[in-house]
Structure 1
Amino acid sequence: MLMKTASQSLAEQLCARFAERIRTRLLAPGARLPSVRLCAEQQGVSVSTVVAAYDQLQAQGLVVARKNRGFFVRDLTSNMPFAQAASAQAAIQSIAVAARAPVDAAALIRGMFHSVSNKPQPGMGVFPAEWLDASFLPAAVRKVTSDSALRELSLHYGEPMGDSGLRRTLSQRLGALNIPAEPGQIITTVGATHALDIISRTLLRAGDCVMVEEPGWAVEFARLDALGMRILPVPRRADGPDLDVMAQYCQLHAPKLFVSVSVFHNPTGHCLSPGSAHRLLQLACQHNFHIAEDDTYSHLAPDHATRLCALDGLQRTIYVSGFSKILAPGWRVGFMAAPPVLVERLLNTKLLATLTTPALLEKALAWCIDQGQLRRHAERIRSRLDQARGRSVKLALAHGCSFAAEPAGLFGWVETGVDTDALAQRLLDEDYLIAPGSLFHAVRKPGTLMRINFATTQDAAFWKVFVRLRDGVR
């Protein structure tokens, strides 16, 4: 709550609160501020206080007033000289997206590094740090950093494709998933997102069409848009993508790439069925496009789950995964397994962007896998997540929500019954960051869905606040 002090008026405090959200992109360019009367009710202040705060924001150039419509967040990089705009762009750490929502993909990413509070955050896309605190990680680093090894690894670039020992280990791991990938087909990357970026930059050029599942990963929409790609959203169903829509896109736009999450799709938790996978691969062959299969959550899923790369044998498919979600976010180790014909092109793109990847951490990761430490750790995480999911689902249902998809994996796709963009802003006042459903669509529009993280929504305190504010939005 805002509290009047000798040093700062209520209007100044309210102005500072909105200014911080604008500068950190929790309120993105184009977002509409609450009406003066509604804001006064939400903040427990007078209408005149809100008017004064909005006037201050306008004077600072952060918002613009539109007659009979209200106050809107100003694009801080518009109407500036190029150099000044670039500086402002860097200052607010923005990511270009096709359309803006009050909480955007970049805000969720920043939330991973700078939490809005010490409360568990329902909108986060990662496990809590305490879940990943594994005693074997320091041992793994010590194992590969004798004095001579540390000197060698520090003073020389690593292997262009990545540590050969790790690639051999990953080849064996993929074999257990029935994905035939020789070490020479595997390229390590700085996380799975880096792998997807390499694929896009190798196979696409600005203006090319790329199909992406919708709802889908907010960061992927933002990243592809920033590269100048034409995004074709494909509705994601329980058994897989809408193949009729994909066929129409192929006829009209000749897309070159489809980005898909087959197992524990984000945000729905859906898994691809064998029948849909077979028909999808037939469509890819018929219309000559590649498929980037993002298997980021592979360690949470059974090995027998349907994966396109296993059925296709890495002909038109490229497999992407990593270890930041399950093991060590700070190590930033990811990888891709590609058709032999694409390996050199993908490697060239990697080298132009990052040269090589950190060999020391790749060797430590290989040790964790070879010693069985990663497998045992993943089993503990899966067991803990199963329990958390059960508690979170009960709380959501008990507080008047329903699930738009069968709860599975790390995320729940929750029907709230209210505009979750509006709800997100009110929850920020209570120090909770949620992921409104509009984030997961290529063209942003208000909706009533939100994605929750089962690991961070076991706290009944959040759901009590949620119900109070949801009823207020209604």
Structure 2
Amino acid sequence: MLTRTNALSLTDQLSERFAERIRSRLLAPGARLPSVRDCARQHGVSPHTVVAAYDQLQAQGLVEARRKRGFYVRDAAVRPAPPPNAAAMVAAPPIPADASSLIRGMFHRPSAKPQPGMGVFPPDWLDSTFMPAALRRVTAGPVLQELSLQYGEPAGDTALRRSLSQKLLGINVPAAPEQIMTTIGATHALDIVSRTLLRAGDPVMVEEPGWAIEFARLEALGMRILPVPRRADGPDLDVMARYCSAGDGHRPKLFVSVSVLHNPTGYSLTPGSAHRLLQLANQHDFHIVEDDTYSHLAPDHATRLCALDGLQRTIYVSGFAKILAPNWRIGYLAAPPALHARLLETKLLTTLTTPAIFERALAWCIDQGQLRRHSERIRVRLDAARQRTVKLALAAGCSFVSEPAGLFGWVETGVDTDALTQRLLDEGYLIAPGSLFHARRPPDTRMRVNFATAQDAQFWKVYARVREELR
């Protein structure tokens, strides 16, 4: 709630709250602000205070008044620059909303409370003794100087690529060390593939709902996004076939897919759907990028396109930020031999190389079985958290769109989750509204919850109260 202080009036506090959300795109262009009466009730202030705050936002060019309809967020393209006295508002940590601010949200939490909308495990889940031991081992003696004072292997540390080759064999993906390239996280691997195989304006098929950051990344590169509905068994192949039947210059060149423990639904690809998808790729000559970010949480026998295809038309991408060490920033890709040289050239042009010290330490963690045992402990803990979260969500009146699996749950709330996000932020909780997981951000009544951070009973009590108020 807003509180009276000598520093800022209630009007200024309310105005800043809305301004911050508009600039971080939590309130999208065209969104309607709450009515004066509703806003006054929600924030415990007088209607006069709300009118004054809305007038301030209008003076800053952030909103516009529409006669007899209320106040609406102005389009950024026609919004004037903020006045000099708004510097304090701009400098404040943005609240996660669109893809880029969602990333920044990993560093600026809205409160100390558990955040159900986060995309990562809590830090205490990842705490271990073997990672410091691995670093001490790698940096002992002259090795530290050797690895620090020269660029490493362009494709990545040789020891790590050998370890990754053996690791991939465990999930039936045949990749020689020469086919593997390390990257600065899995997102960097996806970026290397896009920059190598695509040019601005090229159509790219992406699953929907899907990863908000992937939509934003491709749009920033100038690609044309073709949403493909994600079903329980895999992508909608009929929709993909229609895209592929377009005329020359309009056919997609790439499909980006999360086959196993899809974000946000938790779906996993079935063998039948995988075979038909590979047939479609061969028929229409497009590549498939298989993002296996959640491989450490999934069974080894899960269906993967790269295992069935043998890395002929597929490219495998994964990383270790989710399960092991977010700040080590180690990801990798495995590609067909014919593409390796082109992909490596893109890596050299963007980052030169990757830090060998962390890569050598990770190789030790893999070879000693430490990563495998750590992943097993995380899975056991996540299973318990998932069961608790599901019970709390159901008791709060939610339903699950898909069978709960992996790290995320895809939850039906029955109300507009963009509006729900606004209200829960006032309570100190961040959720991930369903609109984030669509390329064009249409209104949605679903939200994604992180099972590891949503097992807080107090959150679900607040959620149930706020949802009833919205209904």
TM range (shorter): over 0.9
**Residue 43 of structure 2: aligned partner:** 43
Tell me which residue corresponds to 2:270: 273
Task: Identify the residue that residue 174 of structure 2 maps to in structure 1.
Answer: 180
Match of 1:298 among 275, 285, 295: 295
Seen in structure 2, the aligned counterparts of structure 1 residues 332 and 51 have a Cα distance that, compared at 3 Å, is same
Is 1:62 the counterpart of 2:73 in the alignment? no
SS in 1 for 2:264: coil
CA distance in 2 between counterparts of 1:76 and 1:246 reads: 33
Structure 1 residues 236 and 22: CA distance shift in structure 2, 3 A: same
Who is 1:9 aligned against? 9
Equivalent in 343, 359, 363 of residue 340 of structure 2? 343
Residues in 2 aligned to 1:351 and 1:93: alpha-carbon distance in whole angstroms = 33
- Partner residue, 2:84: none
Q: Could you tell me whether the CA contact under 8 Å between 2:244 and 2:284 is conserved in 1?
A: yes
User: What is residue 125 of structure 1 aligned with on the other side?
Assistant: 119
User: Which position in structure 2 is the counterpart of 1:314?
Assistant: 311
Choose which of 341, 353, 368 in structure 2 pairs with 1:356.
353
**Alignment partners' CA distance in 2, 1:288 and 1:91:** 47
How far 1:254 sits from its partner (Å)? 1.2
Give the C-alpha shift of residue 80 in structure 1.
6.8
Q: What is the SS of the residue equivalent to 2:113?
A: coil
Residue of structure 2 in register with 1:138 after alignment? 132
Give the alignment partner of residue 424 of structure 2, picking from 420, 423, 427.
Answer: 427
Describe how 1:149-228 pairs up with structure 2 within 5 A: 149-228=143-222
Tell me: CA distance 1:325–1:314, structure 2 relative to 1, closer, same or farther (3 Å).
same
Contact 1:108 1:123 in 2 (8 A): no
Separation of aligned partners in 2, 1:428 and 1:35: 18
Q: Secondary structure at the match of 1:314?
A: coil
Aligned residue runs from structure 1 range 359-438, under 5 A: 359-438=356-435
Of the three residues 438, 443, 447, the one matched with 1:446 is 443
Structure 1 CA distance for aligned equivalents of residues 98 and 115 of structure 2: 15
Give the Cα–Cα distance (whole angstroms) in 2 for the partners of residues 190 and 102 of structure 1: 23
- Extract unaligned runs of 5+ from structure 2: 82-86
SS at match of 2:245: helix
Q: CA deviation at 1:285?
A: 0.2
Residue 154 of structure 1: how far off its partner (Å): 1.5
> Is 1:244 matched up with 2:234?
no
Correspondence for 2:228 among 196, 221, 234? 234
Q: Secondary structure at the match of 1:8?
A: coil
Unaligned runs of 5+ in 1: 82-86, 95-100
For the residue of structure 2 that corresponds to 1:456, the secondary structure is coil
State the partner residue of 2:100: 106
- CA drift at 1:74: 3.8
CA distance in 2, matches of 1:41, 1:296: 43
In structure 2, what residue type is equivalent to 1:71? Answer: F
Deviation at 1:17, TM superposition (A): 1.8
Change (3 A) 1:220 1:114: same
Q: CA deviation at 1:75?
A: 4.8
C-alpha deviation, 1:28, in angstroms: 4.1
Residue among 276, 281, 285 paired with 1:284? 281
How much does 1:204 deviate?
A: 0.6
Contact 1:24/1:92 (CA < 8 Å) preserved in 2? Answer: no
SS in structure 1 of the partner of residue 34 of structure 2: coil
Equivalent residues of 1:25, 1:92 under 8 A apart: no
Q: Work out the CA distance in 2 between the residues paired with 1:145 and 1:278.
A: 46
Q: Deviations over 1:161-188 (max 9, x none)?
A: 0000000000000011111100000000
Q: What letter is aligned with 1:120?
A: P
Kept in 2, the 8 Å contact 1:412–1:454? The answer is: yes
Q: 2:327 is matched with which residue?
A: 330
Q: Does structure 2 conserve the Cα–Cα contact (< 8 Å) formed by 1:120 and 1:457?
A: yes
* CA distance in 2: counterparts of 1:226 and 1:12, whole angstroms: 34
CA contact (8 A) 2:29 2:73 kept: yes
Q: Deviations over 1:42-78 (max 9, x none)?
A: 1121111101011112223333333344333345564
Structure 2: how far apart are the matches of 1:236 and 1:301?
A: 19
After superposition, the Cα gap between the structure-2 partners of 1:401 and 1:144, relative to the gap in structure 1 and judged at 3 Å, is same
CA offsets per residue over residues 7-58 of structure 1, 9 Å max, x none? Answer: 4321111112222333444334444322222211211211111010111122
Quote the residue 1:84 is aligned against.
Answer: none
Distance 1:439 1:414 in 2: 14
What whole-Å deviation, never above 9, does each CA across 1:66-117 have from its counterpart, x for those lacking one? 3344333345564679xxxxx9xx98999xxxxxx99322232121111111
Contact 1:263–1:270, Cα closer than 8 Å, also in 2: yes
CA distance in structure 1 between the aligned counterparts of 2:424 and 2:53, rounded to whole angstroms: 20
Question: Which amino acid counterpart does residue 26 of structure 1 have in structure 2?
Answer: L
Distance in structure 1 (CA, Å) of the matches to 2:191 and 2:67: 42
Aligned counterpart, 2:464: 467
Q: Is the 8 A contact 1:171 1:181 kept in 2?
A: yes
Secondary structure, counterpart of 1:40 in structure 2: helix
Identity of aligned residues (%): 75
Deviation at 1:4, TM superposition (A): 2.0
CA distance in 2: counterparts of 1:29 and 1:337, whole angstroms: 40
| Aligned-pair Cα RMSD in Å | 2.1
Cα deviations by residue, 1:405-443 (Å, 9 ceiling, x for unpaired)? 000000000000111110000000001110111111112
